Amino acid sequence: MILENFSLPIWVYAYGSPSGKGEIRTLPEDFIVEETLAFEPSGNGEHVFLQIQKTGENTEYVARQLARFANVRQRDIGFAGMKDRHAITTQWFSVWLPKGDEPNWTEFATENMIVLHVTRHARKLKRGALANNRFSLTIRNWQGHKTKTIEQLTEIKNHGVANYYGSQRFGHGGQNVAKALAMFQGTKVGREQRSLYLSAARSFLFNHILATRIEQNSWQTGLNGDVFMLDGSRSCFACEIIDEDIRNRLTQNLLHATGALVGKGETRVSASAFEIEQKIIETYSELKTGLVAFGVESDRRALRVNVANLIWEFSNENTLKLHFNLPAGSYATALLRELISL
């Protein structure tokens, strides 16, 4: 890979090129996200769980403010997912306060942060502990081919969307990937930056694998040798030969082919699926070598994600509103990019 003038490619679209253009995040209320936890807090335990609505603030800033307000260490704060700054987001945080002495949480409120609910639980809130995220998005100054846009939305509703990592994963201009490579070549970075760069490198490889599978029209139908993931689950199984049962389950969106999240350990794929992944990994061998050297464990990610409860409306000729649910780890921008040029 070449560090100089590095830029992200335009990943292949799953449903043709975008059918329109428009503006997102013109106002914070144009991008609304609400977390749903994967469990119900018990009401008892050493960790205070806070549901907070924030506007124009990023997740780590709120976590720092909570630690200062509660007079605890930064590592005593937990949250399930990172949320966009330029949005109105409702998310959960946990604060370790084992002695039961709590501050008055209503005093934590600011113009941009409101505590909506307070309860307790026995364990710290961990990353990824979400059932899904509910999005309400407004695209302003929309221009395009309305009929084609509705056709694309219908395809997404019925068949899911390509589970790309969003551009925010890679930093401005994709520079987190270039910084990951520099780190692999010996540049010293802080602990927080190291995690960001490792994630960017692995996500870059996954997006390449997914783009290739879309080009070959196998991201939805699967290939011999694929590892499949059950919808709504992290459970996977390898499949050397696709039979009629597997085809039917793929058609019904009950199974999804997966792509490699590169690291140390076996990828589990074989046959045609292995050949595709191996070619891409060999092309960017410096990234794989670095990921393994830094001890990142290999994993799998679904190539497709179902978009639950998707509804849309043109409130006027130039405003398109979308409402939908995505599981934790999937990006609303992966859906938006199919519809408008971002």
**pLDDT (0 to 100) of residue 223:** 97
pLDDT for 82 equals 86
What DSSP assignment string belongs to 183-222?
Answer: HHTT----HHHHHHHHHHHHHHHHHHHHHHHHHTT-TTT-
Instruction: Locate the DSSP E strands across the chain.
Output: 20-23, 31-37, 47-55, 77-79, 88-96, 113-121, 130-144, 161-162, 227-230, 236-238, 255-261, 299-302, 304-305, 308-316, 319-326
pLDDT at 342: 79
The domains located in the chain, with CATH, are 39-127 (3.30.2350.20), 163-305 (3.30.2340.10)
Which pLDDT score is estimated for 55?
95
pLDDT of residue 1: 58
The per-residue pLDDT for 281 is: 95
What pLDDT does residue 108 have?
95
pLDDT on residue 174: 87
User: Low-confidence residues of the chain, pLDDT below 50?
Assistant: none
pTM: 0.92
pLDDT at 102: 87
pLDDT at 182: 92
Catalytic residue (one of 84, 231, 243, 299): 84
Q: Catalytic: 226?
A: no
Question: In whole angstroms, what is the distance from residue 67 CA to residue 79 CA?
Answer: 12
Predicted confidence at residue 5, as pLDDT, reads: 60
Distance in angstroms (rounded) separating the CA atoms of residues 128 and 147: 37
